[in-house]
Structure 1
Amino acid sequence: METAARSTSSSCNGDNIIAWFDHVAANAALVQTQTLRRILQLNFGAEYLRKWLANIGDIEDIDPNALESLYSSLVPLANHSDLEPYIQRIADGDSSPLLTQQPIDKLSLSSGTTDGRQKFVPFTRHSSQTTLQIFRLAAAYRSRVYPIKEGGRILEFIYSSKQFKTKGGLTVGTATTHYFASEEFKIKQQKTKSFTCSPDEVISSGDYKQSTYCHLLLGLFFSGDVEFITSTFAYSIVQALTSFEELWKELCVDIRTGKLSSRITIPRTREAVLDIISPNPTLAMKIEALCKELEDEDWFGLIPKLWPNAKHVYSIMTGSMQPYLKKLRHYGGGDQLPLVSADYGSTESWIGVNVDPSSPPERVTFAVIPTFSYFEFIPLYNTLSKEYGATSAAADDFIEGEPVPLSQVQIGQRYEIVLTTFTGLYRYRLGDVVEVAGFHRNTPKLNFICRRKLILTVNIDKNTEKDLQLVVERGCQILSKARAELVDFTSHANVARQPGHYVIYWEIKGDVAEPVLRECCREMDAAFVDHGYIVSRRTNSIGPLELCILERGTFRKILDHFIGNGAALSQFKTPRCTSNEVLLKILNHGTIKRFHSTAYCN
């Protein structure tokens, strides 16, 4: 009876939060006006806002119908560089209201993989509250499609990063690290305590390799109870399961004996794990037998075989995570285990929730949550066809329209997102390009297209991360025919010598003959559809594409470099293009073969 009561209560809570979201989505235009008014009320005295809004009087006296247009006419669009001087003053200890009137004692550290350097972003209580809220909302939608058994567990590959203090005494870490340390996360853990495989001492160990080992060990120890597997990014799950291929024998020893490997050296982590596990020879024998079978099958279906009651895999799978879907499906046994894309957000703000968890990650859309931030959208039109993206994903080949509020977006149109947040970002250009795929009630459902920032350019060529992904997929079609697998990739626009050219770095699994790799190189060079690139290659203004094959483990060294600089594995994204000298040194040192394209040769 008690279990049934808890299950009913959980279901009611899920229905309640979905009903709340349906209500705010149905009234999205009004809610957005109220959200903007609330942000301005809370932060009106901040120095940045006073600079632009000093002459408008009391916010309460402004006609609600005129508030949005007045705000957009007075406050300019901003990039991170416009707000950086204020954020630096906050980091240096200036406690006056610069961006918000709310206290800021934490700064989030972006991953730094988009533009090559990590950025500080204000983090407040509101950041944790919205994270908890979207967690509950997303869980409610997922439970309608994939009901979770009461008393089951979640295998979560989540990690805190190292934190440090700024000159002014503010705590700096990733947004996920701040959330894992927040009261909101503790509330979530308490209310779903029976679902969690790993205790806080594993999540916050500070050593991602030791945390991964313990996540795997505890996930196996509770293997029959695991209802689904999750991490912030798909990369983290792939990384953990790749590590499992090397660690499974050692993990089985720990399960058999109830002891813990000597590789776990952090006392509080060892103690916490040893308090949970106990000898289980029967389970160890079962896992050993399964792993011997899986080795012979190249680990196909690893997840459903080791965690037979897992209903789905849940993680961010869009954008730079898409290249990992093939490997994730391999571990999931193809169609045996659904992949569910997690929700849409950034270090700056959460944006939208996946209201249709049954959609495959390649077609997922996100319904904007109109209470989280005030959203504007810059229309983007392709300069040639007036329809953005008709010939290329190049995100600088467009004409910008005037920003429009959420209530005026149109289905099929592509936009760049602009945020005004409770944490002190005003008309902040996020750099994400999205397409409006439809509406949930009256709030738009967005399809993430790409980051607007160009990552490959030598002269008149313009290629984004999406362009590069499509090109690499063409090369991988040839690679897969040779029964090899792409582990990871990145790129570099080499302009050190003229003519400049693109370099694509591949780490691959499997033996591939050189003629096949030459064909991959040529195919990728010919696959770029950007007009500027094609013209430049034909006139030799851009040199032949170079394909560099890396020794195994090179991308693990790149991961270690980012972790050493304060990133968390939960937040790590392989940089798809880099000009960072340290990373280029790692890549070039790890290069074991080089090929140059013969495409465009007469």
Structure 2
Amino acid sequence: MDTSSGDDVISWFEEVAKNAGKVQMETLKMILEVNHGVEYMEKWLKDVDVHNMDAEALQSLYVSRVPLVSHADLEPYIQRIAEGETSLLTKQPITTLSLSSGTTEGRQKYIPFTSHSSKTTLQIFKLAAAYRSRVYPTREEGKILEFIYGSKHFKTKGGLLAGTATTHYFASQEFKLKQQQTKSFTCSPQEVIFSGDYKQSTYCHFLLGLFHSPQVEFITSTFAYCIVQALRLFEDYWRDLCDDLFNGTLSPKITLPGIRRSVLDVIKPDKCLATWVSSQCEELKESDWYGLIPKLWPNAKYVYSIMTGSMQPYLEKLKHYAGDRLPLVSAEYGATESWIGVNMDPCSPPENVRFTVVPTFSYFEFIPLHLRYHKACVGSTSGGDDYLEADPVPLSKVKIGQQYEIVLTTFTGLYRYRLGDVVEVAGFYKGTPKLNFICRRKLILTINIDKNTEKDLQLAVQKGSQPLIKSRAELVDFTSHAKTENQPGHYVVYWEIKGEVNEHILALCCKEIDAAFADHGYVVSRKNNSIGPLELCIVEPGTFKKIMEHFIGNGATMSQFKTPRCITNPVSLKILNLWTVKRFHSTAYM
């Protein structure tokens, strides 16, 4: 894709969207051609001349011969790649391995990363920026306040660098070239992004962001959680930040030499700016920091981040910080394995965002999913054995209103790879589908015949937290655990709350959460007492920050972190139970 302007990139996308079915067949053919002869594919297509076969015939042959797989099926090949072997999954040079966050399934997974991965990242960023600029035009000389964090790379046995996908991109030549060539770019230098200490990086992101306050065009991070977490820290940091702005200094709390040098090279004393920031913060404190972002960055056009799926619980707090006039724009849909879709409608509320599939990034298939039975709770979905599956269909054959699991074939060597994401087709743009993200298919809460996903938990917590509103309290974060050490097993939900709430209200919340799980297996199990009363644990303020620091200490980055909604990690469970201050149990199930 050769696109030098926003209009060029949109014109390119409109062309591939119009011919999405044909583009998909050509994309699959290209993937199979560039990876022809790799060990994995020799098992299935050894006798096939992929270079001379018609694209449509090759597509038909491919899906008939190559099996659907999960990450576990490809893991032995990826492990051999980590140990130094080549031409196992892809012929493209694998210089690095990406690590998933590990917060969804409790452990990090290796995913092959090539130059193609960085290029597609740059492509989708250009495409998304082109659509955003049509609605929210920004100045060329402006700045972006980005809360982004790179982690340290480490080497595998075979000498490959391993790290998070975001780290690879921030360290890539594509990103560095963008830094050099684009006037409107991040406030923070590489030393701040790669400090390795998220607290010191966050402080410096804020200091540089405030120093460039009039130039800041928008605020962004990979996940909504990162922005919310950073702004919570700002509530503690602001006085120190004002002192540094006033004097052109850097707090002694920032101890890393590289980060100190890079920041002090930029900032200068600005007494007027420091006084103005201080006066704004004094006012903001009185309203619990409502509208903090537009107050301190008055020329910002929007806040931009991934706000779907597990990020939805942070939307209310982000809206609070953004106030009533600053739009929230949901970022694009992708995974460590591949980018999938672009947000063509930046004006759409994050809760309603639809992602338009980019048909050149991977070859996409969709497994039609049908619930075995309907749930009583409108909008609730379940996973695992609750779904009946049909044969996968290509992108051009999906139907509006149908739910699907996404299957990927990528340039980086994943073949008919089940992503585990459940989406619903909301419509089409020309010939390519527009998707609503529903949930991760993986079950997170199950004891016997009950089956509840992350979405089910979110809906239950959302309903159960309604009594907090009258107390003017805020649910900061939550997670869960299926406790089976004693019989009958039961669900444990952990809440961190900001504000004072009496025990009667919390007991009511506990009862409401239990009643909100509409899964048929859970309802039956609660009625016959094969699952015990739900337990609600209230933890000390800062407990979820300790869990985040545990994951970051084990290789995740702040840019990539997502609070795990079901805790199985023994260390995290120990943190939660150690800092639990109140426990409530629901009443008998009716």
TM bucket by the smaller chain?
Answer: over 0.9
Aligned to 1:211: 201
- Deviation of 1:207 after TM superposition, in Å, equals 0.9
Equivalents in 1 of 2:257, 2:204: separation in Å?
Answer: 13
Kindly report which structure 2 residues correspond to 1:541-556, keeping only aligned pairs within 5 A, or say none: 541-556=530-545
Amino acid at match of 1:222: H
CA distances 1:117-141 after superposition (whole Å, capped 9, x unpaired): 1000000000000000001000000
Equivalents in 2 of 1:459, 1:529: separation in Å?
Answer: 15
Equivalents in 2 of 1:195, 1:119: separation in Å?
Answer: 31
Q: Is the 8 A contact 2:68 2:418 kept in 1?
A: yes
Aligned to 1:66: 57
CA distances 1:509-544 after superposition (whole Å, capped 9, x unpaired): 001101010000000000111111011101101000
Amino acid at match of 2:276: K
Equivalents in 2 of 1:251, 1:64: separation in Å?
Answer: 59
Q: Is the 8 A contact 2:376 2:518 kept in 1?
A: no
Kindly report which structure 2 residues correspond to 1:453-602, keeping only aligned pairs within 5 A, or say none: 453-600=442-589
- Alignment CA distance shift 1:390-1:330 (3 Å): closer
- Work out which of the residue numbers 152, 156, 171 in structure 2 matches 1:166: 156
Q: Is the 8 A contact 1:122 1:424 kept in 2?
A: yes
SS at match of 1:61: coil
Amino acid at match of 1:123: F
- Work out which of the residue numbers 148, 164, 170 in structure 1 matches 2:138: 148
Equivalents in 1 of 2:317, 2:292: separation in Å?
Answer: 11
Aligned to 1:306: 296
- Deviation of 1:214 after TM superposition, in Å, equals 0.2
Aligned to 1:30: 22
> Are residues 1:394 and 2:389 paired?
no
Equivalents in 2 of 1:60, 1:100: separation in Å?
Answer: 16
Aligned to 2:320: 330
SS at match of 1:571: coil
- Deviation of 1:65 after TM superposition, in Å, equals 2.2
> Are residues 1:44 and 2:36 paired?
yes
> Are residues 1:139 and 2:129 paired?
yes
Q: Is the 8 A contact 1:461 1:530 kept in 2?
A: yes
Amino acid at match of 2:99: L
SS at match of 1:60: coil
Q: Is the 8 A contact 1:492 1:504 kept in 2?
A: yes
Aligned to 2:393: 404
- Deviation of 1:227 after TM superposition, in Å, equals 0.8
> Are residues 1:444 and 2:444 paired?
no
Q: Structure 2-normalised TM-score?
A: 0.98
Equivalents in 1 of 2:122, 2:32: separation in Å?
Answer: 23
- Deviation of 1:158 after TM superposition, in Å, equals 0.4
Amino acid at match of 1:116: G
- Work out which of the residue numbers 340, 354, 357 in structure 2 matches 1:368: 357
Kindly report which structure 2 residues correspond to 1:239-388, keeping only aligned pairs within 5 A, or say none: 239-333=229-323, 335-384=324-373
- Deviation of 1:224 after TM superposition, in Å, equals 1.2
Equivalents in 1 of 2:58, 2:373: separation in Å?
Answer: 35
Equivalents in 1 of 2:184, 2:531: separation in Å?
Answer: 58
Q: Is the 8 A contact 2:380 2:455 kept in 1?
A: no
- Work out which of the residue numbers 187, 193, 218 in structure 2 matches 1:197: 187
Equivalents in 2 of 1:237, 1:588: separation in Å?
Answer: 27
SS at match of 1:569: coil
Equivalents in 2 of 1:346, 1:599: separation in Å?
Answer: 41
Equivalents in 2 of 1:523, 1:103: separation in Å?
Answer: 53
- Deviation of 1:152 after TM superposition, in Å, equals 1.0
- Work out which of the residue numbers 63, 75, 81 in structure 2 matches 1:90: 81
CA distances 1:426-467 after superposition (whole Å, capped 9, x unpaired): 000000000000111110001000000000001110100000
Amino acid at match of 2:40: Y
Aligned to 1:7: none
- Work out which of the residue numbers 396, 405, 408 in structure 2 matches 1:419: 408
Amino acid at match of 1:256: F
Aligned to 2:67: 76
SS at match of 2:5: helix
Equivalents in 1 of 2:481, 2:207: separation in Å?
Answer: 38
Kindly report which structure 2 residues correspond to 1:98-117, keeping only aligned pairs within 5 A, or say none: 98-117=88-107
CA distances 1:240-276 after superposition (whole Å, capped 9, x unpaired): 1000000000000000000000111111110010010
Aligned residues: 587
Aligned to 1:3: none
Equivalents in 1 of 2:523, 2:325: separation in Å?
Answer: 42
Q: Is the 8 A contact 2:380 2:459 kept in 1?
A: no
Report % sequence identity.
70
Q: Is the 8 A contact 1:375 1:417 kept in 2?
A: yes
Amino acid at match of 2:16: V
Give RMSD over aligned pairs: 1.4
Amino acid at match of 1:395: G
- Deviation of 1:552 after TM superposition, in Å, equals 0.7
SS at match of 1:272: helix
The 10-residue stretch of structure 1 (72-81 or 160-169) with the greater mean CA deviation from structure 2: 160-169
Equivalents in 2 of 1:593, 1:35: separation in Å?
Answer: 55
CA distances 1:186-237 after superposition (whole Å, capped 9, x unpaired): 1221232443211111111111111000001111111111110000000110
Equivalents in 1 of 2:560, 2:427: separation in Å?
Answer: 29
Q: Is the 8 A contact 1:508 1:549 kept in 2?
A: yes
Equivalents in 2 of 1:317, 1:63: separation in Å?
Answer: 41
Equivalents in 1 of 2:4, 2:95: separation in Å?
Answer: 36
Equivalents in 2 of 1:600, 1:351: separation in Å?
Answer: 42
- Deviation of 1:162 after TM superposition, in Å, equals 1.8
